[in-house]
Each structure stands twice: as C-alpha cells, then as structure tokens.
C-alpha cells in the first residue's frame, strides 16, 4: 500500500523537517464517495419489479405456467392485510419475531464468547490448535437434524434447545475467523513486540486482537445470519414453549393460512437483514476509521 501511495504524494508532501511541517490537508485520503442518482433510483426500480413479478405469479403465472392455484402465492396486498393489518395475526407474528430474535441473539452471544475463547486458546499453541480444530470441523459437518434427538433429551424441547442449535450453527465462523485474524499479524510487527520482551498477554491484547478485529467482525456477521437461521430451524424441531416465527410458519402451513405464512417469511427475512445491517454498522464503528479494505466500498 505504501508503494501505491508514494508516487501520488511522496514528493509533494514530504517537506524538509525543520523548515516547514507538513499540512494535514496534504495527506492522501480515500476517494470521496459520489452518489449518483441511479444509486437511489435502482433500489426503487428493483422493488417495483419484485412486487410486479409477485402479482404476476399470483394472478397469472402460477396458474398458466405450472397449472397450480394462484392462492399458493398470495398477492402482496392480501399478505399485508391479513398478516400485519389484522390484529390477531399481527400480535402473533410480532410476538414470534420477538422470541426468534431473542433466541438467536442469546445463541449468538454464547457462540461469540465460546468461539473467541477457543480461538484465543488455539492461537497460543500449535498443539492446542491441532487438538481442538478437528472437532470443530466435525461439528460443522454433522447435520443438525441428526442431533435433534440428543439435544432434545438433554436440553428438553423448549427454548434452551433452540439456543443450543444457534450456538452449534454459528460457532464455526467465529472460531475460524478469529483464529485466522489472530495468526495473521505481520511478522515485522511481531518483531517489534519481541524486541521489547513483552508477555504473551501484551502481545495478544496490543497486537493480535486489534489486528484480528476486521476478520472477527466478518465472522460475527456470518455467524449472526446463521444464528437467525438456527433459531428458525430450531423451532421446527423444538416446538414447546413460546412460539417463534419458525413455529408460526409451520402452524400456518398446516392450517393452509397462506397469507400469514408469507407474513412470517417476510419477518424472518427482515430479521436476517436487520442483523446483517447492525453488524455492518458495528464493524464500521470499531474498525472503519483505520481498516484499509482491499476492495473499494460502494
């Protein structure tokens, strides 16, 4: 990166030391973002197209292309009316959203604490990494469905089991991203710390962890999305206790309440998107000022 910047500004800004100090305004900066009008219009066109396609499939497509009744794809306004305008459905759906969100956030927090602790442990010694890593990979490979009877027998068929599913499903990206970040600090930067005979703890806290922040946040973002999926999948198997979006989806399906089913789907998607946005925002807050992404944002 120094190679890229030097020709642009090196000669211009490097004034002689004692004569005139450099002006902060001369420092090179990332190019300012210019918003083109199409940046605003494109999403609107996209949304219009999406709704149009939805109506098209509902009133004509499903019937004439697949010879299936149109109500299987309920039209958008009916979905809104029967899911979100109707008092009973709305209450049920938003209560479901609350429980699903709560389960996925609790699972995510546990996964973050456990995952980061495991990654930090593994970063401290090669033998620890070699003894723990295979089990994480194995855990990743086992389908949740196969574990349902065991999880159910141990944690019961209520909320704790759903939280456990969230932890299982979101742990891996946190561990792998954190570990990768911790181990990827520059050799030269490590030398700086070695020269000053610092403790492992100092090296971890002042070099490895800050260096890992961008990849850790990427891991959080992936894990958060998975945790939402985990909460909904968990509800399909562990139905006792408070009803989340996944349970509602299943019961609307069994009662053929298609408008409400689409409503539940919309909420599930909205939750996933919200989580994604929140973690993107957190990432910008923590590392946005200093982190130089190789990809231009936009």
Partner 1 sequence: MGDVGAAPALSFDGVSMVFPDGTHALRETTFEVRAGEFVTVVGPSGCGKSTLLRIASGLTHATSGTVHVEDRNVGYVFQDPTLLQWRTVQKNVELFAELEGVDKDERARRAAENIALVGLNGFETKYPKQLSGGMKMRCSLARSLVMDPQIFLFDEPFGALDEITREKLNDELLSLFQRKGFASLFITHSIYEAVFLSTRVLVMSARPGQIVGDFTVPFPYPRSPDLRFEPEFAELSGQVSHALRGAHV
Site size toward partner 1 (CB under 8 A) is: 45
Q: Which is nearer to partner 1, 199 or 254 (CB)?
A: 199
The answer to whether 205 contacts partner 1 (rule: CB under 8 A) is no
Quick one: which of 42, 128, 192, 273 contacts partner 1 (CB under 8 A)? Answer: 192
Q: Which is nearer to partner 1, 134 or 188 (CB)?
A: 188
The answer to whether 285 contacts partner 1 (rule: CB under 8 A) is no
The answer to whether 11 contacts partner 1 (rule: CB under 8 A) is yes
The number of angstroms, rounded, from the C-alpha of 271 to the middle of its chain's C-alpha atoms is: 11
Quick one: which of 61, 70, 160, 210 contacts partner 1 (CB under 8 A)? Answer: 210
Quick one: which of 88, 146, 290, 294 contacts partner 1 (CB under 8 A)? Answer: 290
Q: Which is nearer to partner 1, 15 or 113 (CB)?
A: 15
The answer to whether 23 contacts partner 1 (rule: CB under 8 A) is yes
Quick one: which of 21, 134, 143, 298 contacts partner 1 (CB under 8 A)? Answer: 21
The answer to whether 198 contacts partner 1 (rule: CB under 8 A) is yes
The answer to whether 298 contacts partner 1 (rule: CB under 8 A) is no
Which residues of the shown chain bind partner 1 in the complex (CB under 8 A)? 1-3, 5-11, 13-18, 21-24, 27-30, 186, 188-189, 191-196, 198, 202, 206-207, 210-211, 213, 287, 289-292
């Amino acid at each position: 990166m120094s190679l890229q910047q030097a020709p642009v500004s090196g000669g211009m800004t490097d004034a002689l030391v004692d004569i005139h100090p450099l002006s902060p305004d001369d420092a090179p900066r990332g190019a300012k973002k210019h918003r083109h009008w199409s940046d605003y219009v494109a999403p609107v066109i996209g949304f219009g197209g999406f709704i149009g396609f939805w109506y098209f499939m509902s009133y004509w497509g499903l019937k004439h292309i697949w010879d299936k009744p149109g109500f299987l794809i309920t039209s958008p306004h009916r979905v809104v009316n029967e899911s979100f305008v109707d008092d009973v459905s709305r209450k049920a759906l938003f209560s479901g959203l609350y429980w699903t969100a709560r389960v996925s956030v609790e699972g995510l927090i546990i996964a973050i604490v456990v995952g980061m602790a495991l990654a930090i442990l593994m970063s401290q010694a090669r033998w620890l990494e070699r003894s723990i890593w295979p089990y994480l990979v194995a855990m990743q490979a086992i389908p949740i469905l196969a574990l349902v009877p065991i999880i159910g027998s141990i944690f019961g068929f209520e909320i704790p089991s759903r939280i456990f599913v969230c932890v299982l499903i979101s742990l891996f990206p946190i561990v792998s991203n954190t570990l990768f970040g911790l181990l990827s600090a520059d050799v030269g930067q490590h030398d700086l710390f070695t020269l000053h005979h610092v403790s492992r703890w100092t090296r971890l806290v002042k070099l490895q962890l800050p260096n890992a922040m961008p990849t850790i946040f990427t891991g959080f973002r992936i894990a958060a999305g998975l945790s939402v999926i985990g909460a909904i999948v968990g509800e399909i198997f562990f139905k006792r206790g408070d009803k989340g979006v996944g349970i509602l989806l299943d019961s609307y399906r069994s009662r053929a309440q298609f408008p409400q089913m689409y409503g539940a789907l919309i909420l599930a998607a909205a939750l996933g998107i919200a989580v994604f946005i929140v973690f993107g925002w957190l990432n910008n807050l923590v590392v946005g000022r200093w982190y130089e992404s190789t990809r231009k944002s936009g």
